[in-house]
Amino acid sequence: MHMLREGHVTAGLIGIVWAFVMAITVSVTLSFASGLGFRPGGIGCLILGLSGGLAALYVRDRLVLFAGFVLVAVALLFTPVTPLVFGEDVPMQWRLAAAISFGVFSIWPLKVMLVEAHPGTLTRHAFEDAVIRFLTGFGYIIFTAIVLIPFYVMVMTSLKSQQALLRNPLDFSIELSRGWDLFTSYTELFGQFGFGSYLWTSFYVSVLTVLITLAFSVPGAYAVARLRFKGRAAFSRSILLIYMVPMIVLALPIYIAFSMTGLRNTIPGLILIYPVTTIPVALYMLQGYFRGLPVEVEEAGLMDGLSRLQVILKITLPLSLPAMVSVSLYVFMIAWNEFLLAFMLLDDPSIFTLTRGVAMLNSSEIPRQHLMAGAVIATIPIMALFLGLERFMTKGLTAGSVKG
């Protein structure tokens, strides 16, 4: 442990690990961007990382440090100990760009990480500071990568042609020469597969779900939050309990009942069942919010001669508008993303919801880019809502606690 806290050891180790991280990052990024062959070179990274870490300890002048490191990185390209190994067909400008970005993104963060480090034994504080800065940088990269890569692949695959995908699964570069043909998958989905109607079905099913959910849960939540009655505690607990019953357990009897009553394979059946899955959540979220509202305002209303229902309509609801928006968004998201019930209850392609439609695309006869285009179509509306109303959405997510 003490060895580690020696300035040189700390700087060297962090330098080496960081150089590897960056070499992998640069290779993966460029591979995904161009489809060409890039991979990290072991010994080159080792040498560059070690020297970079040590140099960051000694060289005070940033410009000298950065320029020197990048130059060395570029120079090593032409030796056997190159930090990045390229496929045969990688043109020179790509190699240079790779080496320069590797150099910059290695040494610059290294300098920041080792800002408190110095030659000689480090204090515990300085050592941990360096480690934490390293972990932070590492965390940003890894999280951004794991979140972005699937979405990048999703969007880019949907824009490719079948042949291009089979030729090189890594090549995600956009063939701009294809012009509007890039969107072939989308036009086919909206044309032949009727995704326009799926989009509409999903939309109105979700909106109706939100409306019905609110109609049921607002009075219920108000009663649980404000009114005193026997069994209140038991009631709020049973809401939570119901919240925990997994959908698949309910889906089976619902499937049977719907099959026998002819509600299966109908949109009204779906609209009957969706709100019930969301009412407990909405009730739970709303009652939490109603509790937080000041009672005095409502009491003043009561004193002035309003009835309870008028109090709810004229005082409580306007005050809880932000909470209603959060709940609506959250319920909309659940209904929009719902898959299991739509999958089990709908068979007729003319009344599919979007998720059911995308599930239909998962067959060996339908090319992958269609499936990914379907995924994009399902994701974009909910993403747009999320990004546009993030403040409400995050509030909804936190309050809705932990619905899977």
Partner 1 sequence: MTSPTPPTTRGALERREARLAWSLLLPTILIVSLVIILPLLSIFWISFKPVGLADLRPVAPMIRESLRERSGQMVVEYRVRNSSQQKEITGLGFTDTLHDGVAILELPEFCAVDGLQLRCEFGDVPGGFNERVRIPVALDGDAEALEEIVEGSAPAGYGTGDNILTNTEFTLENFARIFDGDEFLSVLWATIFYTVFGTVGALVVGLFAAMLLNKSFRGKGVLRGLYLFPYVSPIIAVAFTWVTLLDPFSGSLNALLIQMGVTAGPINFFGQRPLALIMVTVFEIWRYFPLSFLFILARMQSIDTDMYEAADMDGASPFQKFWYLSLPMLLGILSVLFLLRFIWTFNKFDDIFLLTGGNAGTRTLTVNVYEQAFAVSNIGAGAAVAVVIFATLLLFSVFFFKYISQEEGL
What is the closest distance, in whole angstroms, from the C-beta atom of residue 190 to partner 1 in the complex? 17
**Rounded Cα distance, 357 and 342, in Å:** 9
DSSP 153-202: HHHHHHTS-HHHHHH-TT-----GGGGGGGGHHHHHHHHTS-HHHHHHHH
Kind plus residue range of the DSSP H or E element containing 265: none
Q: Per-residue x/- marks for partner 1, 17-36, CB under 8 A? A: ----------xx--xx----
Sites for partner 1 among residues 80-99 (CB under 8 A): 87
Sites for partner 1 among residues 43-62 (CB under 8 A): none
DSSP 3-24: GGGBHHHHHHHHHHHHHHHHHH
**Coil/strand/helix, residue 369:** helix
In this structure, the number of other CB atoms found within 10 A of the CB of residue 44 comes to: 22
Q: Among residues 73 and 361, whose Cβ is nearest to partner 1?
A: 361
**Rounded Cα distance, 36 and 27, in Å:** 10
Sites for partner 1 among residues 259-298 (CB under 8 A): 259-260, 272-273, 275-276, 279-280, 283, 288
What is the closest distance, in whole angstroms, from the C-beta atom of residue 61 to partner 1 in the complex? 26
Whether the CB-CB separation of 250 and 309 falls below 8 Å is answered with no
* Site size toward partner 1, by CB under 8 A: 106
Residue with token string 């190159």: 82
- Contact stretch for partner 1 (CB under 8 A) within 96-104, 106-114, 189-197, 337-345: 337-345
Among 54, 66, 104, 129, binds partner 1 (CB under 8 A): 129
Among 132, 174, 300, 313, binds partner 1 (CB under 8 A): 132
Among 143, 196, 348, 349, binds partner 1 (CB under 8 A): 143
Phi and psi at 399, nearest 5°, equal -70, -35
**Rg of the Cα atoms in the chain:** 29
Sites for partner 1 among residues 377-396 (CB under 8 A): 378-379, 382-383, 386-387, 390, 393-394
Q: Among residues 99 and 376, whose Cβ is nearest to partner 1?
A: 376
Interface with partner 1 includes 300 (CB under 8 A)?
Answer: no
Sites for partner 1 among residues 157-196 (CB under 8 A): 157, 165-166, 168-170, 172
Interface with partner 1 includes 337 (CB under 8 A)?
Answer: yes
